[in-house]
Amino acid sequence: QKEVEQDPGPLSVPEGAIVSLNCTYSNSAFQYFMWYRQYSRKGPELLMYTYSSGNKEDGRFTAQVDKSSKYISLFIRDSQPSDSATYLCAMSETSYDKVIFGPGTSLSVIP
């Protein structure tokens, strides 16, 4: 079993749709949970980070962490064509520790 699992997609949605991206993990020691967005041939950029369980909202993005189920989600509301990218979940045990990435989900938002 991989340490972090994520549906690779590709996921294609119409503009304005709500997008749900999910990851599961096996290491119960993970405490920090992140979502990164990566455009083709670019480095990843941090979208959201959450410590432990709970929800966090930032504009059109909402991150949810359920440590009891080892399951994290990213919701994108009112999706835009500019949201088309690969979304990587990531997690680590401490704030200074190595980050373990999920395989990424490719998202296309169709105008």
Partner 1 sequence: GAVVSQHPSRVICKSGTSVKIECRSLDFQATTMFWYRQFPKQSLMLMATSNEGSKATYEQGVEKDKFLINHASLTLSTLTVTSAHPEDSSFYICSAPGQVYEQYFGPGTRLTVT
Query: What minimum distance in Å lies between the beta carbon of 24 and partner 1?
Result: 15
Min separation Cβ 54 and partner 1, Å: 15
Q: Specify the long-range contacts of residues 102-106, CB closer than 8 Å, at least 24 apart.
A: 102/4, 102/5, 102/6, 102/23, 103/2, 103/4, 103/5, 103/6, 103/8, 104/6, 104/8, 104/38, 105/6, 105/7, 105/8, 105/9, 105/10, 105/11, 105/21, 106/8, 106/9, 106/10, 106/11
Residue span 59-88 as binding mask against partner 1, x where in contact by CB under 8 A, dash where not:
-----------------------------x
Q: Which residues contact 43 (CB under 8 A, 6 or more apart)?
A: none
Least distance to partner 1, CB of residue 16, Å:
27
- Asked if 27 is part of the footprint of partner 1 (rule: CB under 8 A), the reply reads no
103 binds partner 1 (CB under 8 A): yes
**Shortest distance, CB of residue 96 to partner 1, whole angstroms?**
5
2 vs 77, beta carbon nearer partner 1: 2
**Contacts with partner 1, residue ranges (CB under 8 A):** 32, 34, 41-46, 49, 51, 88, 92, 95-96, 98-104
